[in-house]
Structure 1
Amino acid sequence: MVDSQCTRCKALLNHTIVAMVAGQVVRVKCNTCGSEHNHRPAKEPKAATVKGAKAEKEVKAPRTRAAKAPAVSDEAVWEEMIQPLDPDLAVPYSMDGKFKANTLISHPTFGTGVVASCQAGKVEVVFKTGRKLLRSAC
């Protein structure tokens, strides 16, 4: 019997020795879960190192984030995209429908939206509440 780090249990547990090479344990079987794996002995704590004068560094000021430009809200983008389009001509959304960019669609949950881009099997639609990636036959 030997203590080993079990790969399945993720804990240091009692194991039965299965194989030894040159007097060293190389393969063990966990007495808790029954898995067989290479022996992983308990890790020994690292010795504390003494820091000398070279290890001392100047204390730097904490990092600050660069100021970002204010992001344009999805609602503002939606209002700009929907302005030239007629809401009465909105196409009802369906998962098997084919949509092109700048097409006005009517979704039963999210409301009226404008198709921003088409990808394989998906369309990105800008709604008043935000952007959504929806399934389609594009």
Structure 2
Amino acid sequence: MQKRVLAAGDMVDSQCTRCKALLNHTIIAMVDGQVVRVKCNTCGSEHNHRPAKEPKVAAAKAPKAAKEAKTPRARSVKAPAISDEAVWEEMIRPLDPDLAVPYSMEGKFRANTLLTHPTFGIGVIASSQAGKIEVVFKEGRKLLRSAC
């Protein structure tokens, strides 16, 4: 099968810079047998020829176990992370749940006091900053607004 030689005035697929799509274009200029400049048949804009990109072939991936065996990594020794639930249980143990204060954005709170929140439940105030309190709930730590 013979490959057709392109010439000025022929149609070619090119990536249009205005339409942002691969569309039919008319060849305007050629240099050394290569298409250099084209005109979009859809929007009429003239621009340099941007041929259709060939799809990249994905390289075959090695199995995960084989990768790990090839590249051993030095692992840092860390203490096991203590979950927020465990921290919550330790903090709530000495406190009386009946003395929990209901949460309000306008309320003023101190550290190590119990708080009841309508969504998160009972929590312990870990710290208070200007306008914020950090509360440890069973589900995790939350930063809440306050008047502190």
- The TM-score, its normalising length taken from structure 1, stands at 0.55
What's the Cα RMSD here? 4.3
Q: How far apart are residue 65 of structure 1 and its match?
A: 5.4
Residue number in structure 2 paired with 1:117 = 127
Residues 1:99 and 2:109 are matched in the alignment: yes
Give the number of the structure whose alpha-carbon radius of gyration is greater.
2
Q: How far apart are residue 68 of structure 1 and its match?
A: 2.5
Q: Deviations over 1:44-84 (max 9, x none)?
A: xxxxxxxxxxxxxxxxx746252322100000000000000
Distance 1:63 1:124 in 2: 40
The one-letter amino acid paired with 1:132 is: K
Aligned match for 1:134, one of 119, 140, 144: 144
- Aligned 1:1-138 pairs, distance under 5 A: 62=71, 64=73, 66=75, 67-138=77-148
Q: How far apart are residue 125 of structure 1 and its match?
A: 0.2
2:82 alignment partner, SS class: coil
Residue number in structure 1 paired with 2:42 = none
Distance 1:85 1:136 in 2: 21
Q: Deviations over 1:68-102 (max 9, x none)?
A: 22100000000000000000000000001111000
Distance 2:83 2:146 in 1: 25
Q: How far apart are residue 118 of structure 1 and its match?
A: 0.6
Distance 1:78 1:70 in 2: 17
- The TM-score, its normalising length taken from structure 2, stands at 0.51
- State how many pairs are aligned: 115
Distance 1:135 1:89 in 2: 21
Instruction: List, as ranges, runs of 4+ consecutive aligned residues in structure 1 with deviation greater than 6 Å.
Output: none
Distance 1:94 1:63 in 2: 52
5+ unaligned residues in a row in structure 2: which ranges?
A: 1-69
